[in-house]
């Protein structure tokens, strides 16, 4: 455990040896689900995992904001004594890692931006995502809808999340099994954290500020997409076009968690080194 500058205790763990790589999990309001990924990378990197504020094994206490999350990531860096580090962020964690790199570029050796949704407004991709999500629920849609809009027991909350997360996996025969693995162990979703940060992002992404800051970023960035992610990958075009030092890797058979469908391709993308030159 480590303690942030405002006294909140965060769970964190290091595995492996090599150059430091700090992982930022998705959400907001979820917890680190990168145990297997860390194991796959441990022969080439010292991998640092952590549960964000209010999530998983960390202390369940706010406040919750993008700025606070960036400060907490800085607390992780300081705790482990890292001068510079590679950052890997997934989904919401990709936005967090990008924001940290924009504010502390001298502390980031490389950014791996996985399954993010770019720097444009949510309206650009949400409608297509909602349609794909509804289709992806398939025969489970009626049960998922029955669990919405009412207080849930812990068992029902986990079931609702497993059904929701199953849509993220292209292999429908294994989707529920993979989603159940994500929910094991179960720490419960921090709904307040999720709603607060999501509302903040919806009001700030899509502004000229993000585009200008990304254009000035000198940190090499690797964008990793699963081609079968139900979030339109065109959402990331806004980020790719703004960055001066970027490569983009699309894993053809993968979804939102590309390390599941294509672990070898994902490992190569993460450990492939830095971008040799800008565009």
Q: What is the tens place of the pLDDT at every residue in 50-87?
A: 999 999 999 999 999 999 999 999 999 999 999 999 99
Gap between the Cα atoms of 73 and 154, Å rounded: 29
Percent above pLDDT 70 for the chain: 97
**Structural domain harbouring 164:** 2-271
Long-range contacts of the stretch 172-178 (C-beta < 8 A, 24+)? 172/138, 176/140, 178/257, 178/260
Strands (E), 115-177: none
Flag whether 207 is in a domain: yes
* Tally of structural domains, the chain: 1
Q: Is residue 158 part of a domain?
A: yes
Is 178 contained in some domain? yes
What's the CA gap between 272 and 11, in Å, rounded?
A: 28
Residue 260 lies in a domain: yes
Structure tokens at 67: 């700025």
User: Does 277 reside within a domain?
Assistant: no
Residue 276 lies in a domain: no
Does a structural domain hold residue 278? no
pLDDT recorded at residue 278: 32
DSSP assignment letter at 51: P
Contact at 8 Å (CB) between 54 and 214?
Answer: no
pLDDT of residue 273: 56
Helix or strand run (H / E) with residue 76:
helix 66-80
The pLDDT assigned to 277 comes to 30
Q: What is the pLDDT of residue 274?
A: 38
Whose tokens are 């980020």? That residue is 239
Q: How far apart are CA 251 and CA 30, in angstroms?
A: 24
Which parts of the chain register pLDDT below 70?
273-279
Instruction: State the CATH number of the domain containing residue 234.
Output: 3.40.50.1820
Rounded CA gap, 174 and 182, in Å? Answer: 13
142 is a domain residue = yes
Tell how far CA 48 is from the center of its chain: 14
């Amino acid at each position: 455990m480590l303690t942030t500058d405002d006294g909140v205790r965060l769970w964190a763990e290091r595995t492996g040896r090599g150059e430091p790589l700090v992982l930022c999990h998705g959400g907001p309001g979820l917890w680190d689900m990168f145990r297997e990924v860390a194991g796959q990378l441990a022969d080439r990197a010292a991998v640092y995992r952590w549960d964000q504020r209010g999530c998983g094994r960390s202390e369940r206490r706010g406040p919750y904001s993008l700025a606070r999350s960036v400060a907490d990531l800085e607390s992780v860096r300081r705790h482990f004594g890292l001068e510079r580090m590679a950052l890997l962020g997934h989904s919401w964690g990709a936005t967090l890692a990008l924001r940290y790199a924009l504010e502390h570029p001298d502390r980031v050796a490389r950014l791996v931006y996985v399954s993010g949704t770019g720097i444009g407004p949510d309206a650009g991709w949400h409608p297509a995502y909602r349609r794909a999500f509804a289709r992806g629920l398939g025969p489970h849609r009626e049960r998922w809808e029955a669990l919405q809009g009412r207080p849930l027991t812990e068992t029902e909350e986990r079931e609702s999340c497993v059904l929701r997360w199953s849509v993220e996996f292209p292999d429908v025969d294994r989707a529920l099994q993979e989603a159940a693995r994500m929910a094991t162990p179960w720490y419960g979703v921090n709904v307040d954290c999720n709603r607060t940060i999501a509302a903040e992002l919806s009001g700030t992404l899509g502004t000229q500020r993000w585009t200008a800051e990304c254009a000035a970023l000198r940190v090499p960035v690797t964008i990793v997409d699963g081609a079968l992610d139900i979030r339109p990958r065109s959402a990331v075009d806004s980020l790719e076009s703004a960055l001066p030092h970027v490569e983009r890797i699309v894993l053809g058979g993968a979804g939102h968690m590309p390390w599941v469908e294509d672990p070898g391709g994902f490992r190569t993308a993460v450990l492939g080194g830095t971008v040799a030159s800008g565009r």
